[in-house]
Amino acid sequence: MTAIDSLDHLNTLGVRATADRVATAATEDGLRRIVLEANDSGQPLLVLGAGSNVVLGRHVRGIVCLMRMRGLSVEPLGRDKFAVTAAAGEGWHALVRYCLGRGLFGLENLALIPGSVGAAPLQNIGAYGVEIADRLVGLKAMDATSGEIREFDRAACRFGYRDSLFKSSEAGRYVIVEVTLRLSTRPQPVIDYPDVRVELVRLGCASPTPVQIAEAVIRVRRRKLPDPRRVGNVGSFFKNPMVSAEQVERLRGEIADLVVHEMPETPGQVRAGGPGQFKLSAAQLIDRAGWKGARRAKVGVWPRQPLVLVNLDGACGADFLTLGQEIRAAVLARFGVTLELEPRVLGDR
């Protein structure tokens, strides 16, 4: 076993893991060589960006490809609209800062989300009322069976809540290589979430600019969430559950201040469960089930945000999955709501 096989420092959860082989893709041709090698040898292929949304087992079979493709460009679309294209290996927060620095707005609510650009459409990242699906024009991806490049428009990506074609029905089939977003020089602030509004008041921003909204989001995230460079975590370990109106009414009988968001109809997005869906706060359910701040040997629940599980002392992926299952069982027993894991689970336990 050589040092390059180690994945210890390639996942923000901070778990120890190894791979049969680790390769780096810095160019499209380099990625194609890795893809075709995996095909020719019959080995599984796993692409990692920043490793910020995965739970790794002790060993990952096959080739782990580190996505390191770089590049940013801006093209006018007419009037106040611009297309920003970013290579998959760019850092997501760095892209947000790049756009804000050039007066291009629309990503400010997604500031400080860890991870790479290529992983962002995979799970349709979102925060504080904005998802990448709201801004995406299209993307390019490499077919992992042939090495061919295919273009996807927004509709073809089949976005859903923390989901997409690339995470569900075609998981593993395509490797995203670049993403194009539609942004504007005309601010359209989204400040509906209470945490953001409260922070803007603290900052004294009555009519906030996009830069001030980004600053408020960053402050909220830093206050509530642990820094993965210091405390191993993948951010939200669970998705906010989607339920029916009937379930909402039932739960209001148990939780007087139940947090509920009605999911609007959004063109181009897949609505799991059909119309009339409502999003609950998984954090609130976990908290009311008594798990906020809980500890289990090497893993724990972050006391400021119960959606986040943290690595306390040399935990492995299985430790997180065990704790996650305990929490899911407790929420189901108490409230009749099933929580789903948000990160991908990869490798042998």
Determine which one of 52, 116, 164, 236 is catalytic. 236
| Residues, the chain | 349
Give the per-residue pLDDT at 326.
98
Q: How much of the chain, in percent, has pLDDT values that exceed 70?
A: 95
pLDDT in tens, 173-227: 999 999 999 999 999 999 999 999 999 999 999 999 999 999 999 999 999 999 9
Instruction: Say whether 162 is catalytic.
Output: yes
Q: Residue written as tokens 């095909």?
A: 39
- CATH 3.30.465.10 domain span(s) along the chain: 72-184
Give span(s): CATH 3.90.78.10, the chain.
242-346
pLDDT tens readout for residues 258-296 = 999 887 655 555 544 444 589 999 999 999 999 999 999
Assign domain 242-346 to its CATH architecture. Answer: Alpha-Beta Complex (3.90)
| Catalytic-role residue among 32, 162, 221, 288 | 162
Tokens of 50: 């920043």
CATH number of 72-184: 3.30.465.10
Write the burial class of residue 235 (CB in 10 Å: 0-12 exposed, 13-18 middle, 19+ buried): buried
Choosing from 131, 178, 215, 342, the catalytic residue is 342
CATH code 3.40.50.300 for 3-67: no
User: Where in the chain is CATH 3.30.43.10?
Assistant: 3-67
Query: Is residue 154 among the annotated active site residues?
Result: no
The reply to whether 182 belongs to the active site is no
Q: What is the value of pTM for the model shown?
A: 0.90
